[in-house]
Amino acid sequence: TGNGSRAFAFDTATRNWTGEYTIESVAADGGTVGTTDLTLRALGLSVAVDDRNVTATERIDVRVSAADAGREIEVSLRDADGGVVDRRTRTLNGSGNSTVEFDAETGNYTIAATDAATGATAESDRIHVVESGSQDDTTESTGSSTTE
C-alpha cells in the first residue's frame, strides 16, 4: 500500500484460479514498470457439526476451518427457511480452526460460515433438534460441507 501501489482483484468464482502467477505492470508507453509473483490458494472454508441430531437441552457444536489463519469468519445458525436465528464472529487460530456453540429450540437448522474478507461461504448439512427424551434423540451423526 502507499504511493504508487496497485490493487489487483481476481474473480475466482468463475474458474479455478489457484496456482502461480506473475503480474506485470505496464506504463502508458508500453514499457514494463515491474513484475510481481503471486500464489493464489483455495481458501478451503468448511463447517463441521459434531452431532446433527441433538436435544433442545444440548448445544450444537460447530468447527469452522480454512487453509489460512487469522481470518474473521461469521458463523450463523439458520432455521429451516434460511432465516438467521443466531450469529457469532470468530477469528481462526494459527491452525486455521475455530469452534462455536449454539443453543436451539426444537426444529431443523443449518450452520453457515462466511469469510469476512472474501465472502466465501460454507454450509453444514441439516441439523435436527428434538425435545429431550424424544425417541428421535438417539441417532448420532456428523455432517460438513466445503466451498472453495
Nearest to 127 by CA among 46, 54, 48: 54
Contact indicator for 125, 91 with CB cutoff of 8 Å: no
**Beta-bridge partner residues of 40:** 19
Q: What is residue 135's three-state secondary structure?
A: helix
- Alpha-carbon torsion, ordered 23, 28, 30, 31, to 10 deg: -70
pLDDT tens for 7-55 read: 766 666 666 667 788 888 888 898 888 888 888 778 899 999 999 999 9
Using a pLDDT cut of 70, give the percent of the chain over it: 80
**Beta-bridge partner residues of 101:** 61
Q: Output the pTM of the full model.
A: 0.70
**Beta-bridge partner residues of 130:** 55
**Beta-bridge partner residues of 61:** 101
Q: What is the mean pLDDT of the chain?
A: 85
Show the beta-strand stretches assigned E in the chain.
19-26, 32-40, 45-49, 53-55, 60-65, 72-79, 84-91, 97-102, 107-115, 121-123, 127-130, 143-147
- What residues have CB less than 8 Å from 57, skipping those under 6 apart? 132
Nearest to 142 by CA among 53, 23, 25, 73: 53
